Amino acid sequence: MEISRIHTPVMLERSIELLRPAIEVDGAVLVDGTLGLGGHAEAFLTRFPNLTLVGLDRDPEALALAGERLAPFGERAKLVHCRYDEIRDALQGLGYDTVQGILLDLGVSSMQLDRAERGFAYSKDAPLDMRMDGTAELTAEEILAEYSEHDLRRIFWEYGEERLASRFARRIVERRGETRLVRSAQLVDLLSKATPAALARQGHPAKRVFQALRIEVNQELASLEEVVPRAIESLALGGRMVVLSYQSLEDRIVKRALAAATTSSTPPGLPVELPEHQAQLRLLVRGAELATEDEKAANPRSTPVRLRAAERVRVAS
């Protein structure tokens, strides 16, 4: 596989611009918490010759491919097989207490989307797998076969914001009484037939259900809830973090976590702000930044991205 042809890093130049003040110092360490195929990592290691990069990924196949791509950088690239919410353990295992930069490029990777056999894409027939880590046990097929109608409805609504969650859950339970859903084409056919024509014209009927199943299989939102506070703890004073989100549920979690860390916890009524109540972070961008129109045209996968960034300004005592 020629990796560079299928992986164009999203908002690369803006991420470099935001992280540069923290990682251009000698001995700096940057964590790429969602290594994927290593596109961002390769660019950072090339631009900053004194930088050490720690790459985390739960997908063994992605780690192997990224390892080939980053091999020319030798010991400057340290790769770890783990979920990104295990960032503290990963860093401690490498002998680092804190780092100068953290990059989180959330969601499903280019490779996972492009490999039809992984089952992430509703446009390609494949086994209903959707595991980012192929060594994990739970698959989309098992969810569709074993979850109750109530739980199917819940994940379609909560993780996919699917208006037809109840209808889809009911039809899936009815179908599995006759035959097990094992391939994406079977599920797409079921969802398409269950979607009223007026709604079908508003977008592919399977899009939100596939998103919801992927999130449930990989426990993505639960991991994200954990990783942002742990990433903040891992930043040295003056360290910076950039997070790229691709859907509203992710961005909402990131926004809430950053808001909490950039707000003083001083109790109301105190005449002065005590040091231990001062904000840990300051925001580097207002709200969520979008990709430029030029980047969206050149790299369609950047279209939904929302970028948030912050700098650590206080270390808890």
Output the known binding site: 38-40, 57, 84, 105, 112
Tokens 């950088």 correspond to 73
Q: Is the dihedral of CA 175, 213, 148, 165 positive or negative?
A: negative
3-class DSSP assignment, residue 268: coil
Give the contacts of 165 (CB within 8 A, at least 6 positions apart). Answer: 152, 153, 154, 156, 157
Between CA 71 and CA 63 the distance in angstroms is 12
Task: Could you list the residues known to form a binding site for S-adenosyl-L-methionine, using ranges.
Answer: 38-40, 57, 84, 105, 112
Classify the C-alpha dihedral 118-122-125-128 as positive or negative. positive
Half-sphere exposure of 81 (CA within 13 A, CB side): 13
- Using CA atoms, how far apart are residues 294 and 208, in angstroms rounded to an integer? 27
Count CB neighbours of 115 within 10 A.
17
Please state at what angle helix 220-234 crosses helix 248-261, rounded to 10 degrees: 30
CB 100 within 8 A of CB 29: yes
